[in-house]
Structure 1
Amino acid sequence: MNILLRYTSLRLSILLVGGLLLFSSLTRAQTTTVTGTITDATTNQPLSFANIVFFGTNIGTTSNEKGQYTLTGNGNFTKVAVSFIGYKMATRAISPGTTQTLAIKLEPDAQLLNEVVIKSGKRERYRNKNNPAVELIRNVISHKEQNQIGNYAYAAYEEYDKLQFSLSSLSTKISERKIFQKYRFLLDNRDTTTLPGKSLLPIYLEEKIADHYFRKSPLREKVIIKGSKRVDFGQYFDNNGLSLYLNRMYSKVDIYSNSIFLMTNQFLSPIANSAPTFYQFYLADTIVVNKTKLVGLNFVPRNPTDMLFEGKMYITLDSNYAVQKINLTINPRINLNWVRELQIRLQFEQNVDGRYFLSKSDLLADFGVSKSKGGGIFGQRTLSYRNYKTDEALPAQFYDGQQQIVDAEAATQPDEFWKTNRHDSLSSAESKVYTNIDSLKRMPSFRRTMEALTFVIAGYKSFGPFEVGPANTFYSFNPVEGFRLRLGGRTTPELSKRYYAETYAAYGFKDQRWKYFLSGTYSINNKSIYQFPQNYIRASFQRDTKIPGQELQFVQEDNFLLSFKRGVNDKWLYNDTWRIDYVHEFENHFSYSFGFKNWQQAPAGGLQFKRLGDDENTPSPTVTTSEFSAEARWAPNEQFYQGKIYRVPIVGRYPVFTLRFAAGIKGLLQGEYNYQNLTATASKRFWLSQLGYSTVTLQGGYIFGQVPFPLLTIHRANQTYAYQLNSYNLMNFLEFVSDRYASVSIDHSFNGFFFNKIPLFKRLKWREAVSFKALYGGLRSENDPQQHPSLYQFPVNAMGVPYTYTLNRTPYIEASAGIANVFKFFRIDLVKRLNYLDHPNVSSWGIRARATLDF
């Protein structure tokens, strides 16, 4: 997506970053930072993984493999405490609100050494060979399958899922200001226990209780949601999309999976098959819990800037070699945006058969614009599990139907249900979130603020049952229309959930023509037509301009920023389009649509429809078609965020397939041509662990019948300065046409894998990206105007030089290399066009940019 196309899809992320910027300016707590080295007082050897905390708090860190540490916190701290198994705890005085260096030597504790086993000795260069820590982790890896729930023929358990977001380090003086007096009921609801040293103001809470069922063969899962409850921000947010987005950022952590997806990135698990290649492991201690001997194992990344964890795990020494407990965190130098701190704590309990099952998962992340100062946003997802049952068979028909079922009463369960079924009670601050947000959204001042933000971000101004917008189309310009003014709007669900209308009117001051659009939609399932699953019928008429071959996603063609284009851009169309469409989506993410379109095309600007033998004074006729179409789409497990204008898919690990067929009928409503057009598309994102991810798209099409060039496939070109993923960025509009084609597009992000190892680049936290696009196509003789004079000739430029071509036997190829995460927002690509360089007004090189917002 380019710098324009991401506006809608990034609305939630922009609000998140905007919140970080706002609340960082409201924070007034002192920041204390202590750095230094922890060493053995006898040998002067550095101590790895020693614990350093602000005395009397849980705010702490651990030393790295060189004994170095950095401890930062907001508060008036006067002491630090240092502890390490086998050594006496040490405390040191510090000055609050300053940055200081403190080297600490720990004295061995002979009594403590008799209680635990510490394996140490002369420090040697780290290596995997003959390393007992690596041998232990290899045993864990080899036993992964038997320690997963999927190893049982049948399994069932109950899951409690709680997700909450809070504003962190918000100054207490805020609620005392006069402007915020009316919000004191919200601002005074603070939590100071969840994250010691920080004040949290809960603003979002979501809870879910569900029964999970698993069958190994044939593989099938079933989830029955018994209770579901979340904060509702009303019309200003897509509440379903917000929930999906947050749950995706805070994905469930499966330590036995090779890769763990968090914050739009993949982290390699410390017990992944390839973990010994990327991690260093150190034996720490041996303890006994419930008569079970456990070995503590510390782990750190070999390269501290890679997407890897560091932390400590405890492993059973029985035949299971199972993880009994693990704490994960990240190095501050990791190539991860906005995240100040990340902690993951997993606990496992022993089942009656001796296996260890996950009992609790706690994921905490503190976001901020600054790594150490200012306010931010704190998120926490807690999952707990109980009532495990294994090898209890259920009837085969139980697993039929939908994978996830929501009880009819799930969203309306009474408070008594939650008090009885929550695995953990809510804190005092959490228990007030639901009522506080309900009160907040009823306040006129809050509604006015949200309406202003909606207009700035989404471009729509609401007037209850009708809204005006989008604002970025009010003014634009192009070579055909000159200055163009547009005003439009649409109805909202406040008027009706059944009936919707949308319209706009535009005027071009150069061509002195009015353009307009009008549509009416009927929702068959009585739900908003902007929400999944859609089921509606729509009729519309549009009279407007269009660039042949420009196909955009998530943006209107008359967006103001699209007015800026490179090269010659004078070949346009005037279109009159009558449409009727039926769309039906299913809960399993299969959808189909049927449509009819009557389309009249007339040339505009420098474009002409001329047959061989026509002179320059021969007027250009119009091309009229009447077309029936059908489309089927399957996107298993697809999720998306619903914006005001577009519904933007959240890219997952599942493929998306689309098949479309269209047929033109000659003689129907003045249709001039018989033809059939078949198009198929498949796309998938492949996650490659530490090597990043690739998005691959394959597409092919074939047109049956004889048609003029306006009805051929005009390949997607891009003459803007923004990089478009689905277009050819150095191809000119109308440059290539085909009646049959196949294409491949590969966009790969290395996610900083190489730059993280280069000293300057790893400080900038840039990320590498490459892309490759190839298009192969051709034109049958029956559609070649040189062999059939009755067809319209391909366009030429003002000098009579051909402007439109076929691909012949050579595919069009372009590739790019880019730097992503520039200023945390931008990706800049150097694009190379590899062939067809003899065409007029083409460039072999180009620089294109697009906005992204990744973590």
Structure 2
Amino acid sequence: MIKNYKPVKSIGLAIILCLGFVLQTFAQQTIIKGVVKDAVTKETLPYVTIFFNDTKIGTQTDLDGAYNIVTSANYNSLKFSSVGYQAIIKPFTKGTSQTINVVLQPDAQSLSEVSIIGGKRVKYRNKDNPAVELIRQVIANRDKNRLTNYNTVSYKEYEKMVFSMSNLSEKFKNRKIFRNYQFLFQEQDSTLIGGKNLLPLYIQEKLSEHYFSKSPEKNKTVILGEKQVDFDNRYIDNQGMKAYFGRMYQNIEIYDNNISVMSNEFLSPIANSAPTFYKYFITDTIKDQIPNVIELSFTPRNKADMLFEGQIYITMDGNYAVRKASFGVNKNINLNFVRALKIDLDFEENTDKRYYLSKSNLLADFGISKNKGLGFTGERSVSYKDFNTNITLPDTIFKGKPVEQAVGATTRTDDFWKNNRLDSISPNQLKIYGNIDTLQNLPSFKKTMQIVTLLFAGYQNFGPYEVGPVNTFYSFNNVEGFRLRIGGRTTPELSKRFYFENYAAYGFKDEKWKFFLSATYSINNKSIYQFPQNYIRASFQRDTKIPGQELQFVQEDNFLLSFKRGVNDMLLYNDFYRLDYVKEFENHFSYALGLKKWSQSPAGGLSYQTFNQQVLSNVNQLTTSELSLHLRYAPNEKFYQGKIYRTPIVDRYPVFNLRYTAGIKGLLGGEYNYHNIMGSIDKRFYLSQLGYSDVTVEGGYIAGTVPFPLLGIHRANQTYAYQLNSYNLMNFLEFVSDHYASLNIDHNFNGFFFNKMPLISKLKLREMVSFKALFGGLRDENNPALNQNLYQLPKYETGAQRTYALSNTPYLEGSIGIGNIFKLLRVDVVKRFNYLNHPEVSEWGIRARVKLDF
């Protein structure tokens, strides 16, 4: 006992001594806080420089003029200074906690160019402002300081991304559900984000070599190593998650006019138009570096706009290059869920005395509540080394794809990563790989993921077979009445080559069974739901369909789409026999070949009628046989692969579609010969502070004489949901064409106007406008009024015309909407501008759309 007692006593004594030393240290600390205001206007002053007198140790006031500074050194006074104000020195008492509020007097000499009107606040102006003159020099020299100004560039890049649940309380950590998961939790760095605990969920590392040639312009990236947490693909799309995070956390290029962060475009503080939207202040001159560096602080003129705030450090050697930058966003910004955002950029001097980015770090914390509660933290750091410029790069480097993976890049050993990382990585971060693997093997976690997948993806997994989607189990319409459906599909656990899908449905009003069966063979031995697809599929479907409705991301028997306005009793009973081949390439070009036999029968208020010896007679069934080719090219496309569809991650790159369909009379009972060509281009245009526009241009032409069910039936919407690609005040089957062109513009101002309105700005609302124009018509051979051999266009029971051809006047529709209501709801007031004399149409309507935005 005595032998064991002494060490314990010694350890206890050491702890007491250390504790005493710490307490003594804190006892000697001086803590000073306060607010700095303008002596004339009483407005708080941001970015006031505060130093301990005769030192360069200090801080700055924030946007609300507040400051907080702590020291244990033997100082006794603070110096407050700001451009345009007289500096002031304030003494303080050492070793105490105290509040020192300060008012600064405007400097009459420094403010000779500033107008003071009626005793009101000092007006900020760009004219004769030295800070603005400095930033204009930076803008003028911007292109000279870009990497692309070199003839050739090569460098290595190491990227690390870590994502965690953050701001977790001890109570949350100790909940029963986490009883088996305590090994996952880590201590949180409270200096970055508040709270005590982190729950790391994801880590990704990548090492690459980059090559650039200016003339001719060529780029090449070789991925030397890539490593990430791999989740079970039954629940999470790993590649889609990586693509989504990559879109949210892109490279920060301060020399670009716009910087993409969190899927939004922010105006760079050194963009051409930056002085119009930012205020600049010279807050310090750092003379202990060669060349000298000026600290330039900047803040948005409007705190809710998509703009940054922070500091950039400019070299005073004639290059006006960015030496360093540290910035984030204002707490009042119209950016959803973002509680904190911090970006740090460090630059190193090249051999030619210019500067290149050596490290960037982007940290973002998300949460429902702005200040407290559970959150989600993502951090991306990128380091650059081995920077070489204007060297000879052989042409062989640029051969092949622009981005290639080195052999074995995804199977690198721990020793490889240990020897080749360009930045440090903490032991806690390395633990994430093993922790997540352990987590996924716990039975309780698997059960939890099954429940989550059922709720969000709509499928219940039973190993080789999964049942769903649940949102189609129940729906209703005027023809089928109450409709029940049950079905599912096989998974790769059954086979990686063969996939089967099926469902059965029953309508209680029409008392008819509907069903679907498909068999798919994967040619590349990969899941047919993963990119790139390469498969052949045979299917048969007997089901109902609204004429002309081709909904891309939802099923027509979706419960939420059962609620419709107006008269909507037109339906088709269809038998589809299909054989399809789909081939996708890594460059996101794809083609699909198809053979389809389609038998359709009208139901409800829809009938197919033709004249037979001047007497109208009903046609019970129309059969066509088609060969089709669909070409699609979506350069740089990224998407998240869900259980039943892909969710595109919209970016600035266009998407091209071209579809050709040939109807062949006599093939498998086909009744008509025709050729149908359709093409479209979709693109998002970013307009900096004015938001962005999603633009779709589409056109089609049908050659041949065909009845109206085979014409272009324009996408109408009789639900109460706002649909981006449909005409929201057009009735089903209201317009048909054999040639048409359309333009669809949907613009989101991102709160540009609402942000500037008092009180309203606090709601973080966003303005939307849309405009849709449809040009089209029917040639004489396809107009039933001129060709009685064709099916007559549908009419209401009253005899009023129901379906029309477009005249020389295009169909026009527009809307004005308010978005970001409760951060997820968009409501539009829609106006139909013409063709108002048609029966059962409305000139005005209100539509809503649910979409989660950042």
The TM-score, its normalising length taken from structure 1, stands at 0.89
CA distance in 2: counterparts of 1:92 and 1:334, whole angstroms = 38
Q: Is the 8 A contact 1:256 1:271 kept in 2?
A: yes
1:22 corresponds to: none
Question: What SS does the aligned partner of 1:440 have?
Answer: helix
1:468 corresponds to: 467
Q: Give the partner amino acid of 1:835.
A: N
Q: Give 1:172 shift.
A: 2.7
1:26 corresponds to: none
1:430 corresponds to: 429
Q: Is the 8 A contact 1:465 1:492 kept in 2?
A: yes
Q: Give the partner amino acid of 1:202.
A: P
Q: Give 1:190 shift.
A: 2.7
Shift of the 194–237 alpha-carbon distance from structure 1 to 2, 3 Å rule, reads farther
CA distance in 2: counterparts of 1:251 and 1:423, whole angstroms = 19
The answer to whether the aligner puts 1:192 opposite 2:189 as a matched pair is: yes
CA distance in 2: counterparts of 1:553 and 1:132, whole angstroms = 55
Q: Is the 8 A contact 1:119 1:285 kept in 2?
A: no
CA distance in 2: counterparts of 1:791 and 1:95, whole angstroms = 94
The answer to whether the aligner puts 1:667 opposite 2:694 as a matched pair is: no
Q: Which moved more, 1:409-418 or 1:166-175?
A: 166-175
Shift of the 530–468 alpha-carbon distance from structure 1 to 2, 3 Å rule, reads same
Matching residue within 147, 151, 154 for 2:152: 154
Q: Is the 8 A contact 1:539 1:579 kept in 2?
A: yes
What does 1:587-736 correspond to in 2, within 5 Å? 587-612=586-611, 618-736=617-735
The answer to whether the aligner puts 1:231 opposite 2:229 as a matched pair is: yes
Question: What SS does the aligned partner of 2:665 have?
Answer: coil
Q: Is the 8 A contact 1:190 1:429 kept in 2?
A: no
Alpha carbon RMSD of aligned pairs, Å? 2.8
CA distance in 2: counterparts of 1:752 and 1:688, whole angstroms = 13
Bigger Rg over Cα: 2
Q: Give 1:225 shift.
A: 0.5
Q: Is the 8 A contact 1:202 1:429 kept in 2?
A: no
2:479 corresponds to: 480
CA distance in 1: counterparts of 2:694 and 2:702, whole angstroms = 27
What does 1:385-396 correspond to in 2, within 5 Å? 385-396=384-395
Q: Give the partner amino acid of 2:226.
A: S
Q: Give 1:107 shift.
A: 11
Q: Give 1:619 shift.
A: 4.3
Q: Give the partner amino acid of 1:406.
A: Q
1:9 corresponds to: none
Shift of the 42–650 alpha-carbon distance from structure 1 to 2, 3 Å rule, reads closer
Q: Give the partner amino acid of 1:411.
A: T
CA distance in 1: counterparts of 2:307 and 2:95, whole angstroms = 32
CA distance in 2: counterparts of 1:150 and 1:393, whole angstroms = 15
Q: Give the partner amino acid of 2:102.
A: K
Question: What SS does the aligned partner of 2:677 have?
Answer: strand
Q: Which moved more, 1:334-343 or 1:120-129?
A: 120-129
Shift of the 557–359 alpha-carbon distance from structure 1 to 2, 3 Å rule, reads same
2:518 corresponds to: 519
Post-superposition Cα deviations, 1:250-285, rounded to whole Å, max 9, x if no partner, equal 111100000011112111000001011111111111
CA distance in 1: counterparts of 2:503 and 2:80, whole angstroms = 70
Question: What SS does the aligned partner of 1:344 have?
Answer: strand
1:166 corresponds to: 164
2:528 corresponds to: 529
Q: Give 1:179 shift.
A: 4.2
Post-superposition Cα deviations, 1:218-238, rounded to whole Å, max 9, x if no partner, equal 211111011111111212110
CA distance in 2: counterparts of 1:753 and 1:707, whole angstroms = 49
CA distance in 2: counterparts of 1:252 and 1:405, whole angstroms = 19
2:134 corresponds to: 136
What does 1:766-781 correspond to in 2, within 5 Å? 766-781=765-780
Shift of the 676–172 alpha-carbon distance from structure 1 to 2, 3 Å rule, reads same
CA distance in 2: counterparts of 1:42 and 1:547, whole angstroms = 69
Q: Is the 8 A contact 1:519 1:540 kept in 2?
A: yes
Q: Give the partner amino acid of 2:66.
A: Y
Q: Is the 8 A contact 1:717 1:731 kept in 2?
A: yes
Q: Give 1:166 shift.
A: 1.5
Q: Is the 8 A contact 1:191 1:429 kept in 2?
A: no
Q: Give the partner amino acid of 2:683.
A: K
CA distance in 1: counterparts of 2:49 and 2:763, whole angstroms = 29
Q: Give the partner amino acid of 1:637.
A: N
Shift of the 119–376 alpha-carbon distance from structure 1 to 2, 3 Å rule, reads farther
Question: What SS does the aligned partner of 2:561 have?
Answer: helix
Tell me the matched-pair count: 793
Question: What SS does the aligned partner of 1:128 have?
Answer: coil
1:69 corresponds to: 66
Q: Give 1:91 shift.
A: 8.2
CA distance in 1: counterparts of 2:246 and 2:690, whole angstroms = 24
What does 1:267-306 correspond to in 2, within 5 Å? 267-306=266-305
Q: Give the partner amino acid of 1:105.
A: V
Q: Give 1:399 shift.
A: 1.2
Q: Is the 8 A contact 2:193 2:365 kept in 1?
A: no
Matching residue within 80, 98, 102 for 1:105: 102
Aligned residues with identical type, % of pairs: 59
Shift of the 745–94 alpha-carbon distance from structure 1 to 2, 3 Å rule, reads farther
Shift of the 373–46 alpha-carbon distance from structure 1 to 2, 3 Å rule, reads closer
Q: Is the 8 A contact 1:829 1:847 kept in 2?
A: yes
2:24 corresponds to: none
Q: Is the 8 A contact 1:468 1:488 kept in 2?
A: yes
Shift of the 651–44 alpha-carbon distance from structure 1 to 2, 3 Å rule, reads closer
CA distance in 2: counterparts of 1:539 and 1:95, whole angstroms = 80
Q: Give the partner amino acid of 2:774.
A: L
Q: Is the 8 A contact 2:610 2:618 kept in 1?
A: no
Q: Which moved more, 1:277-286 or 1:419-428?
A: 419-428
Question: What SS does the aligned partner of 1:612 have?
Answer: strand
Q: Give the partner amino acid of 2:126.
A: N
Q: Give 1:240 shift.
A: 0.6
CA distance in 1: counterparts of 2:78 and 2:489, whole angstroms = 63
Q: Give the partner amino acid of 1:138.
A: R
Q: Give 1:346 shift.
A: 0.4
Question: What SS does the aligned partner of 1:505 have?
Answer: strand
Question: What SS does the aligned partner of 1:371 have?
Answer: coil
Q: Is the 8 A contact 1:35 1:68 kept in 2?
A: no
CA distance in 1: counterparts of 2:94 and 2:827, whole angstroms = 48
Shift of the 93–432 alpha-carbon distance from structure 1 to 2, 3 Å rule, reads farther
Question: What SS does the aligned partner of 2:610 have?
Answer: coil
Question: What SS does the aligned partner of 2:759 have?
Answer: helix
What does 1:819-834 correspond to in 2, within 5 Å? 819-834=818-833
Q: Is the 8 A contact 1:676 1:704 kept in 2?
A: yes
Post-superposition Cα deviations, 1:637-664, rounded to whole Å, max 9, x if no partner, equal 0110111110111111111111111101
**Which structure has the higher relative contact order (CA within 8 Å, separation 6+)?**
1
Q: Give the partner amino acid of 1:416.
A: D
Shift of the 195–809 alpha-carbon distance from structure 1 to 2, 3 Å rule, reads same
Shift of the 94–52 alpha-carbon distance from structure 1 to 2, 3 Å rule, reads farther
Q: Is the 8 A contact 1:482 1:508 kept in 2?
A: yes
2:28 corresponds to: none
Q: Is the 8 A contact 2:610 2:617 kept in 1?
A: no
CA distance in 2: counterparts of 1:245 and 1:214, whole angstroms = 26
Give unmatched runs, 5+ long, in structure 2. 1-31, 52-57, 70-76, 82-86, 115-121
CA distance in 2: counterparts of 1:82 and 1:196, whole angstroms = 28
Q: Is the 8 A contact 2:686 2:692 kept in 1?
A: yes
Post-superposition Cα deviations, 1:108-163, rounded to whole Å, max 9, x if no partner, equal 9xxxxxxxxx9889975221111111111111111111111111111010001111
Q: Give 1:608 shift.
A: 0.7
Q: Give 1:401 shift.
A: 2.1
Give unmatched runs, 5+ long, in structure 1. 1-33, 54-59, 73-80, 109-117
CA distance in 1: counterparts of 2:206 and 2:446, whole angstroms = 28
Question: What SS does the aligned partner of 2:726 have?
Answer: coil
Question: What SS does the aligned partner of 2:250 have?
Answer: coil
2:219 corresponds to: 221
Shift of the 227–614 alpha-carbon distance from structure 1 to 2, 3 Å rule, reads farther
Q: Give 1:615 shift.
A: 9.7
The TM-score, its normalising length taken from structure 2, stands at 0.89
What does 1:492-507 correspond to in 2, within 5 Å? 492-507=491-506
1:7 corresponds to: none
CA distance in 2: counterparts of 1:352 and 1:521, whole angstroms = 59
Q: Give 1:614 shift.
A: 8.2
Shift of the 574–63 alpha-carbon distance from structure 1 to 2, 3 Å rule, reads same
2:179 corresponds to: 181
